Amino acid sequence: EKGNHRHFMAKEIHEQPEVIGHTLARYVDFAAETTRLPADLPFDWRDLKRVVISACGTAYLSGLVAKYWFERFARLPVDIDIASEFRYREMPLDADGLSIVISQSGETADTLAALRYCKAQGQTVAAIVNVPESTIARESDVIFPTLAGPEIGVASTKAFTCQLTVLAALAIAAGRARGTLSAEDERALVHGLSEVPRLAAEALRLEPQIEGLAKILAKAPDALYLGRGTSYPLALEGALKLKEISYIHAEGYAAGELKHGPIALIDETMPVIVIAPYDRIFEKTVSNMQEVAARGGRIILFTDARGADEAGEAAEVTIVLPDMPAAVTPIVYAIPIQLLAYHTAVFIGTDVDQPRNLAKSVTVE
């Protein structure tokens, strides 16, 4: 049931500190600050030359974040694609490689077909699923469950952040096994992960401020989301969430792609949501923001105190998140992004939990 919340989506957004905590407890040892995966995995991280990931929609976007993590922490190249393209592309796969499929429901037809293709090619298939009795879970060689609990709202929220949590733990474990992370690196990363439930709770306290932004967004015919690095998949996720529940046309772009086309769209009617925790490429994102501001675009910036300081006057509104290690920003920044879509949709009056034309589980192609 919805408890005190108006919608399942609101309830599920607010459950995140707790369900991320449950999920983490399954994959990390908090006391030792190490990852903890089953000892009998049907693959060895050290033997892998690459990982292939396929999934749909929001689950695909969690995989896109994980690509950055696997490549950085484990120096393990990742090929990722949406399952509906992957399944027909007949990508050559070496036998004995690892494929990862990601699915909340575990019943998505295209993701299941991608899994079957990978198995037929001799790959070991690992599934990150929220429903352990699902078809995808049953047909996989190993499952890494997300412990998000049932997700009722059609728009995926808590399943997404739990998928990210599992994927972060896997990438760290892979890095440790492959010798690209030291024991000390692992401890620092796991320590950062263990802070996520608290950081997520702090992010939820931004809700009144974010609710205030809904009226800006609700009037806009279109919106643009920008980010770099792991904030780029988050920009795609922000745009997906906004369009599916508020029906406002939105696009997510890598900030560096702005000048290759989408900057032509910028005028005073265009809100531009920039996701940019302060990091080593923050300056690059600031210069993209200045390009938007110079053309009259209205910038809503999600950053931290340092980023707010460095960004100067470019943004019309800045939402300041707590400081956190770079590795966990995609998990925590997902929350205000979800809240922004949610409150915009509530302000407009759409059916948030059951948006038109959408189904929770897409069991047909």
DSSP letter string, 239-258: HHHHHHHH--EEEEEEGGGG
Lookup result for tokens 């205030």: 212
The CB-of-129 to ligand F6R minimum distance in angstroms stands at 8
252 scored as a contact of ligand F6R (CB under 6 A)? no
134 scored as a contact of ligand F6R (CB under 6 A)? no
DSSP letter string, 289-352: HHHHHHTT-EEEEEEEHHHHHHHTTS-SEEEEEPP--GGGHHHHHHHHHHHHHHHHHHHHT--S
360 is catalytic: yes
108 scored as a contact of ligand F6R (CB under 6 A)? yes
Within 10 angstroms of residue 79's Cβ, the number of other Cβ atoms is 15
59 scored as a contact of ligand F6R (CB under 6 A)? yes
Three-state DSSP class for residue 149: coil
Q: Which stretch binds ligand F6R (CB under 6 A): 20-28, 104-112, 192-200, 319-327?
A: 104-112
Tokens of 29: 């040892």
353 scored as a contact of ligand F6R (CB under 6 A)? no
Find how far residue 48's CA is from the centre of its chain: 24
d(CA 286, CA 227): 11
DSSP state of 359: -
The CB-of-163 to ligand F6R minimum distance in angstroms stands at 8
The CB-of-325 to ligand F6R minimum distance in angstroms stands at 26
101 — phi, psi (to 5°)? Answer: -110, 145
Q: Which is nearer to ligand F6R, 59 or 292 (CB)?
A: 59
Within 10 angstroms of residue 326's Cβ, the number of other Cβ atoms is 14
Tokens of 358: 């959408």
156 scored as a contact of ligand F6R (CB under 6 A)? yes
58 scored as a contact of ligand F6R (CB under 6 A)? yes
Q: Which stretch binds ligand F6R (CB under 6 A): 102-110, 167-175, 184-192, 253-261?
A: 102-110
Applying CB under 6 A, among 13, 56, 147, 193 the residue interacting with ligand F6R is 56
Catalytic residue among 2, 119, 284, 360: 360
Three-state DSSP class for residue 179: coil
Q: Which is nearer to ligand F6R, 302 or 342 (CB)?
A: 342
Applying CB under 6 A, among 10, 28, 147, 155 the residue interacting with ligand F6R is 155
Instruction: Tell me the number of residues near ligand F6R by CB under 6 A.
Output: 15
Residue nearest to ligand F6R according to CB distances in the complex: 57
Q: Of 231-250, which residues contact ligand F6R (CB under 6 A)? A: 240, 244
Taking 3-state DSSP, the helix, strand and coil percentages for the chain, each rounded to the nearest 5, stand at 50, 15, 35
Three-state DSSP class for residue 125: strand
Q: Which stretch binds ligand F6R (CB under 6 A): 51-59, 173-181, 248-256, 310-318?
A: 51-59
Tokens of 120: 């037929």
Write out the H or E segment, with its range, that includes residue 272: strand 271-275
Q: Which is nearer to ligand F6R, 111 or 140 (CB)?
A: 111
The CB-of-211 to ligand F6R minimum distance in angstroms stands at 20
* Amino acid in the structure at residue 228: R
Task: Note whether 58 and 156 are within 8 A (CB).
Answer: yes
Give contact residues for ligand F6R (rule: CB under 6 A): 56-59, 103-105, 108, 111, 155-156, 240, 244, 361-362
Q: Which residues are catalytic?
A: 360
